[in-house]
Structure 1
Amino acid sequence: MIECYYNLNAALSAISGQAVTKAKLRPVSGGDINEAFLIECNGHRLFGKRNQLSRLKDFQSECDGLMALSKSRISTATPLALVQEDDYAWLLLAWIDTGIKSPDFWATFGENLARMHREISAKQFGWGDKQRATWIEYFRQDKLLPKIKQAWSHLDRKTRHCSNKLLNKLSERLISPDQPELLHGDLWHGNFMVNRDGQAVLIDPNAYYGHGEADLAMTRLFGGFDSVFYQAYAEYYKLTPGFTERADIYNLYHLLNHLILFGNAYLPDCQRVIQKYS
């Protein structure tokens, strides 16, 4: 369990093992939602995310996800502390020194993701206080339906009608895994780094237990991964026929999320998928 502190300097003092009265903070790139900083103190370098205090629960969930993912064969960002100070929440992580991809980067990444999906499981589908006995019910009630509701004002009458039909047809469109599988939950090019050993490091998860297909589907969005990655994955975890169609439905969750966050540039893709599979 990652400890939560009520003062940034107190957290940094505990991490570094020496009293910190003033740390050096430098803004760095770190995503669209949070402020991100390189934090230097007592010879240590850390990565810090900052957001409104209301996001503390999200940071805690991210910590839990990183801890779960760390049990896999893929390197994972290391959470060090949570902080709630004044009106802000912080997530502090170990700094990652980056490198270039090794020759076996994509093959190793693909195989290890497949192994994670196969080897790390739970008793129910979902995460935290949202868990279900079946995969399709979880994906319908806790993933896709909330996003459709949030995106409702963007959708025309035809697409709204089709979205209801699609939700009712998910049991025909999707398949269930043998057991709940651990997923990164938001796996695209922006959510892994390359460490100094030339291997992948997972960051920024939205982890849950579901069907590994949903992770693999997400990797195909926004340019996709190298073909070697998919070959290596399939050698260890054979895909059931029909994956391409199921991937469209899994990725609808992410497209709707982008529609909600970033606007109507994502609307045509959302409409296409909803209408096609309804």
Structure 2
Amino acid sequence: MPPVPVSILRALNLTDASKASLSTSGLGSGFTSTGAIRALVPSPDGEGEEERQYFVKTSSDGKAAEEMFRGEYESLNAIAGSVPGFCPRALAWGPLEETKSRSYFLATEYLDLGVGGRTGSSLAQRLGKLHSTPAPPDPETGKRRFGFPVPTFCGDTKQPNRFHDSWADFYANERLMVILEESERRNGKDGGLREMVEITAQKVVPALLAHGHLGYDRNGNGQGITPVVVHGDLWSGNADRGKIVSSGRKEDEEAGEVVYDPSACYGHSEFELGIMKMFGGFGSTFFTAYHRIVPKTEPVEEYEDRVRLYELSGAMSIMQKLIKKYGS
């Protein structure tokens, strides 16, 4: 087994390298190299030692790796802070000082997938709790706003996540237009595509999501919407049954439905459902149980149109990758 890099040992406060091991067997990702660390640490009572397990990602992709891991670090902790055990907590990220290239790492709690049988909280229960918990206020203004403290990545597309007071402004500018501009940067401009996206951003988004409209019924009764933490890339490949193990945090180790690889933001709860419905894998039983916890936003009669609109950002991300691969 390769040794655990000193940078990671130091970040995890593992002081005895001889009691830590790194395994990369059977682990891998399209964007990063991954591994599992096992270490012995002093037990809380000081009478002996107990095992800790960690999951580690590394990448030599320079600035992109730095931003990607910072975004995932903040995304994981935004989710875990609201619903402990729903995803691994991120414990550390930073540069791998041992490498000559600009490499970075991300270390998290270890998530053991496929365990727990049918016990524990369901995906509907945990996601419903996440989407019922208001996002933290913006420290600069003291208001709850739509955005996220750092950029995140959906695949290899950077999402700046600049803060907006209006959800419609955020979705139009930080999702639809960002993806369009990235596609144009990579693949060249397409006048027809730009026209359709601009009409959607300038006409359809305000019609469905405008402040003063979303969150109010046809009689004008309502309170608008409150930003909540959304996973941001929740398809069936980023959810499973599982359990965090050997973390030292018993509150994190309840078996149940879990999620991972988030690309979070503070947004409208139904934004999550666009990706979930576009890729499938979540049946009517889930949505029925979820909406018992998080009712459909008013105007309810526009719910299906809103979800279709939210599907568009995911479809555009896929489209620009296909154009890059086959368009030339």
CA change 1:158–1:261 in 2 (3 A) is closer
Q: Which of 38, 50, 63 is the equivalent residue of 2:36?
A: 38
Q: Which of 146, 161, 165 is the equivalent residue of 1:125?
A: 146
Q: Which of 176, 197, 208 is the equivalent residue of 1:144?
A: 176
Partner residue in 1 for 2:264: 207
Cα displacement (A) at 1:57: 2.4
Cα displacement (A) at 1:67: 1.4
Higher helix fraction: Structure 1 or Structure 2? Answer: 1
Partner residue in 2 for 1:79: 90
Contact 2:112 2:242 in 1 (8 A): yes
CA change 1:154–1:189 in 2 (3 A) is farther
What count of residue pairs does the alignment treat as equivalent? 260
Tell me which amino acid in the other structure corresponds to 1:165: I
Q: Which of 279, 288, 306 is the equivalent residue of 1:231?
A: 288
Tell me which amino acid in the other structure corresponds to 1:161: E
The yes-or-no answer on 1:47 pairing with 2:107 is no
The yes-or-no answer on 1:62 pairing with 2:77 is no
Distance in 2 separating the partners of 1:266 and 1:253: 20
Q: Which of 196, 201, 205 is the equivalent residue of 1:167?
A: 201
CA change 1:124–1:53 in 2 (3 A) is same
Distance in 2 separating the partners of 1:172 and 1:191: 31
The runs of 5 or more residues in structure 1 that have no matched partner are 1-6, 268-278
The yes-or-no answer on 1:260 pairing with 2:320 is yes
Distance in 2 separating the partners of 1:204 and 1:185: 9
Distance in 1 separating the partners of 2:93 and 2:287: 36
CA change 1:91–1:204 in 2 (3 A) is same
Provide the secondary structure at the position in 2 that maps to 1:204: coil
Contact 2:126 2:257 in 1 (8 A): no
Q: What percent identity do the matched residue pairs reach?
A: 21
- More off after superposition, 213-222 vs 158-167: 158-167
The yes-or-no answer on 1:184 pairing with 2:250 is no
CA change 1:262–1:104 in 2 (3 A) is farther
Distance in 1 separating the partners of 2:289 and 2:7: 45
Distance in 2 separating the partners of 1:238 and 1:10: 46
Partner residue in 2 for 1:158: 192
Contact 1:258 1:266 in 2 (8 A): no
Tell me which amino acid in the other structure corresponds to 2:181: K
Tell me which amino acid in the other structure corresponds to 2:302: G
Cα displacement (A) at 1:265: 8.6
- More off after superposition, 165-174 vs 131-140: 165-174
Partner residue in 1 for 2:22: 24
CA change 1:20–1:53 in 2 (3 A) is farther
Once superposed, what is the RMSD of the aligned Cα atoms? 2.9
Cα displacement (A) at 1:110: 1.1
Distance in 2 separating the partners of 1:8 and 1:82: 13
Q: Which of 57, 82, 91 is the equivalent residue of 2:106?
A: 91
Provide the secondary structure at the position in 1 that maps to 2:225: coil
Cα displacement (A) at 1:14: 5.5
Tell me which amino acid in the other structure corresponds to 1:128: P
Tell me which amino acid in the other structure corresponds to 1:187: L
